[in-house]
Every structure is written in C-alpha cells, then in structure tokens.
Structure 1
Amino acid sequence: MRPILNCRLTRFNLLAPFILGLLLTNIVCAEKADQDKPLILEAEKVSANDVKQFYDLNGQVLLIKGSMIVTGEDGHIAVDPEGYEFVDVIGNPNEVASFRQRREGLADEFMQGRGAQVTYDSKTEFLTITGDATLKRLLNMQMLDQLKGWKIEYDDVKQYYRVIPPNDAKPEDLPLARAILSPRRKATLEK
C-alpha cells in the first residue's frame, strides 16, 4: 500500500511546479485604461438615446474606445450605469465585422478577431465572434494563437477560448474548428 502512495506523491511533486507556474503566470486582461476613454462612434447613421444610454449605428460602423476598435455594417451599443459597454456589431456579405483590443501587460499584445457578428461585453471582458470566425492573439504583430471556426468565445479574464460548431454540422464537415496555440512563457520565481 505504501509504494502506491509514494508513487502518487511523486507524480504530484512532478506536477506541482507546473501547476504553480500556471498559477503564477501574469494574468493579462483587456487594457484597463480603456474604461476611462471616451466612446467614439462613426457610421452613416447614428441614433442616440443618452437617457437610456443606447446607440444604434447603421452603415460603415466604426467604434473606438481607447485601444478597442470595432467595425462592421450595423451595430448596437448599450452602456450600463457603471459605464461598461455591451457592443453588438454585424457585418454584411462584402465586409465582415471586426474587433481589435490591446491587452493589459505587454506593450504590444493584442486580440484581433473577424466574423459575421462581433459581440463584446466590456464588464465581463467576454468576446463572441460568430459566422466564419477567426481570433488571433498577437505580440509585436506576430501571431501567437489563432482560432478558426463557426463561433468563437473568448473570456479575457479567465483566458479561455472555445470554438463551437454550427448546430447543423455534419461529421463530413470536419474539421469544424482549428487552433494554433503558442507555448506559454515559463514562470520565474524570485526569492
């Protein structure tokens, strides 16, 4: 009985530095300074309800808030009482919707995505891209991670990617998702 326990402890001891390294890596989220920046809206037509903090944009939509840039054909933006935006932008057959935002931490790290529809909740830092979706994590304009699929969800707080196939997907449609993921930096411990 004792040798099995020692074997399990040895496996745990081998995994402990790896688990600790994952826990100690820098957690990088969306640029926090973006929250204090003005919301710039451009479109062919903008309807604004400042009382309800709801904005409709039609035709060549451009939304800028700090390092966040969202483009598309039509969009809806709702701002909650705390000042967080919920953005929903769709593209058209000729032009997809796109999202780009600098991440907190490293100077030139960005998340960049494209698809038929882009939805972003700045409070939860949750991004959803639907319809022939792509999402890239870039550092100094070099791709680190890339995802492709019908629908991509990205939780920037938890740093969690999820690629979802369409509801009517068939086995012969495979592959329905593709990911290229770069190795994470090793954590260093200082005494």
Structure 2
Amino acid sequence: MKSKIFVTLRQLAVASLWVASCATSNAFAEKADQDKPLILEAEKVSVNDVQQVYELDGEVVLIKGSILITGEKGNIKVDPEGYEYVDVEGNSKSTASFRQRREGPADEFMQGRGQSVTYNAKTELLTLAGEASLKRLHNMQMLDQLRGWKIEYDDVKQYYRVSPPADAKAEDLPLARAILSPRRKATLEK
C-alpha cells in the first residue's frame, strides 16, 4: 500500500509542477537572439559547412545573442531554415550550463545546469538532464527554482516539466522539487 501512495504522490508532484508552471509570466525568450551570429569557442572546433554540423571539444562556450551555453563537449546542427539544435555535455568535474535573457521585463533570465544541455532553437525547448536545476531570475533574485533528474522548459508554451530517472523507485522520493513564486507578486514587482 505504501508504494501506491508514493506513486500517486509522484504523479501528483509532476502534475502540480506542470500546472503551476503554466501560470508563468508572459515573458518569452529574447526574440532578437534568432538574428544574432553564433559565436563558438572551444579547445577544438570541427566545422562541416556542407552538412551544417559543428563539433566542439574542450571548454566549450556557445554564444548567440543573450544565450550562453557552456560545457566540455558539444555539437550543433543547423537546419535549412537556419535553426540550431545544440547538445552540450559536462564532464566528471563540471556540469553543462545554459543562460538566456527573457523578452519583456528587464533583467529576467532563465539559468540552468545539468550533465547535458539540449536546446532546440526552432521550438525553443530546453532540456537539462542529469541532476539538473533551472532557475528563473529577475534582477538576479530567484523567482522560480526546479531540481530533478531531467527538466524540460518550453518557452513557447510557457511550462516546465521535471521527470525522474527511468529506473526511479517510489522509496527514492522526492525526485523533483520546485519553488515557485506567487505570480501576482512577481508580476507586481516587475
């Protein structure tokens, strides 16, 4: 009976995170980022201009407008429409990270870490995996914070999703944690 309660609590926690996050403010990713050049830094960069594939190795830094992604190893694929699909991994000593200014309120950012960072510029879907954390900051003050094994943030639909590892057991709870600021207060302070 105990495991049934935990499974129900897990499902409730994930559903609560999804519902609560649907109420996020109406700020979106910085739209000007789409038209900015892609700046790549790494110890080693391999460019296949025909296939529009870039391989990066060692102290990776990717900058595109207000987007900053760091890690140890990464690859980028650019589709025919010009949208980037980015995968960056950390290593045993450091995690991969993501930071982007949000459109609208000044000084509002999304900032996250994980063993891997995946960003789809076309759908504006960010995925952080492996002991992941994601924060929404305003004037460097935390508004929302999520922790879990895998975090997905969809900027277009304005929601977060925190998922446990596939092999998670009910006794491992809590597998996801969220701190969400009251929307009314966060809106009034902007």
Same fold (TM over 0.5): yes
1:58 corresponding residue in structure 2: 57
Superposed, which structure 2 residues align to 1:64-103 within 5 Å? 64-103=63-102
Q: Which portions of structure 1, spanning 4 or more consecutive aligned residues, are displaced by more than 6 angstroms?
A: none
Partner amino acid, structure 1, of 2:40? L
1:33 corresponding residue in structure 2: 32
Q: What 5-or-longer segments of structure 2 have no aligned partner?
A: 1-21
Deviations 1:11-47 (A, max 9, x none): xxxxxxxxxxx99x96221100011111000001000
Matched, 1:45 2:44: yes
Partner amino acid, structure 2, of 1:133? A
Give 1:80 deviation, angstroms: 1.3
Deviations 1:91-134 (A, max 9, x none): 00101000000011111110000000000001100000000000
Aligned length: 166
Larger radius of gyration: 1
Q: What 5-or-longer segments of structure 1 have no aligned partner?
A: 1-21
Give 1:52 deviation, angstroms: 1.4
Q: Quick one: distance in 2 between partners of 1:91 and 1:118?
A: 8
1:128 corresponding residue in structure 2: 127
TM-score normalised to the size of structure 1? 0.83
Q: Quick one: distance in 1 between partners of 2:84 and 2:164?
A: 27
Look up the SS of the partner of 1:104 in the other structure: coil
Look up the SS of the partner of 1:185 in the other structure: helix
Q: Quick one: distance in 1 between partners of 2:144 and 2:138?
A: 10
Give 1:185 deviation, angstroms: 3.1
2:9 corresponding residue in structure 1: none
> Is the Cα–Cα contact under 8 Å of residues 28 and 157 in structure 1 kept in the other structure?
no
Q: Quick one: distance in 1 between partners of 2:184 and 2:86?
A: 32
CA RMSD in angstroms comes to 1.8
